[in-house]
A and B are shown apart, each in its own frame.
Chain A
Amino acid sequence: MQADLDYNDIRPGKFKQEGDSIPKRKKKNKLEAKNVDVFYGDFQAIDNISLNIKANAVTAFIGPSGCGKSTFLRLYNRMNDYIEKFSMNGEILLDGNNIYDKNIKVEELRKKVGMVFQKPNPFPKSIFENVAYGLRIQGIKEKDFIEERVVTSLKQVALWDEVKDDLKKQALALSGGQQQRLCIARALAVKPSVILMDEPTSALDPISTGKLEDLIYGLKENYTIVIVTHNMQQAGRISDYTAFLYMGRLIEFGNTKKIFTNPDKDRTQNYITGRFG
């Protein structure tokens, strides 16, 4: 009957049946930045950024060149420490502990927070030795243990089927996309909980980029991933949260779907629609 067709009565959940809904767990903060400033000498690269990175999610940093994305990313595993005249204020907490505390051992921190760079940088060693490298420098010698980790890591990055017949092959002989996945396998072998990625696909062809994006999507179940990307569509495709940085400041941070459909700030909208930057 016509009277029954009340479209105003269609509300979210009206047609849900019992057992349909999966209880949502509130995601924990894995990394917390509190009022962070970064200076390179007199130049202020980061200006008072506070930002919480959720566990088991992909967070993307976007923004024009020189806005401080990579600087901010490198704070999470103290890679900026090597840069001359680097100084910072504020705190970076990993699972609630300040990673810039004097008692923190940087090598231990980097076991927990792995990093993948823009250009694939395998060592001039075999595929096997590249993945085993992190374990060996930790002093691990058990052959079976190392072998198991190498195989697991290569499987995790979907490289196993491509290289399993020749693990002694020079890593530098692999294609760019394979090299980048090998670098991720190398990072995974030491069982980090966070993986930082600084434009990991910018040197790759579209097929390799697609494979890497699928990999990132799959990895978030077990890892917290923070990625810097210049590719806006990539940020939209793979991330759960997006932070837009501009001139060292955090302009907007939120759910990726919201940022890419209806951002709160005009400056974000102008950037993602390609009207400035």
Chain B
Amino acid sequence: METSQKASSLINENGLRMDGRRLDELRPVKIEVGVLGNADGSAYIEQGKNKILAAVYGPREVHPRHLALPDRALLRCRYHMAPFSVEERKPPAPSRREMELSKVIREALEPSVFVEYYPRTSIDIFMEVLQADGGTRCASITVASLALADAGIPLRDLVAACASGKVEGHLVLDLDDAEDKKGEADVPLAFMPNLNAITLLQMDGMLSVEEFEQAVNLALKGCKQMYELQKETLRVKYVAVKEEVAEE
């Protein structure tokens, strides 16, 4: 069944998007940390209509044993979408896209973790997308990084992620699903501000080299805003438990 589509524009004459956002505006974000009882660390994010839960188990013994690395922790990541998270039910078995995203997300988070401190262990990160509306890999990285901090795993920095792209000729920040599908380009990026380190960078679509440079700078702007939100989330949770620890 095809819905007939009028040429509905994603960006109107005032430069506003379908949900009323400006071109360089993030969707509304809500983040919470320490939401699951069993996991060593956990966090939950809502970004626009995205709802994503992340949990960390570890460092713990590696199963199966033969995968253990002698000099560092093994970082394992599983990005998975719930069958009910998208418009058309998605079969539960991992798709090729989920496997690729699990890999790139792991590679985005790994530079932040001091894996060399815990040889022969594994640190397992699980991300479940409960509702998806574009930009889930970036939101997953942002929330997984907080789950790592919540697990007390030593980190070089938090990793914050955000995507930019081109829609109807304009460079925009934080594309939702409709913008991603119909737009001309999508550039997801993850960043560790302290080390000026880009740990995730992908692109699909078509951009001139100049446009690409602008897109990177726009995505970085989004990352920095997500980073502040991450810190605020931790602050809010821990300011209530500031301890006076006895001196030895």
Partners in one complex: no
B residues at A contact (CB < 8 Å)? none
A contact set with B: CB distance below 8 Å: none
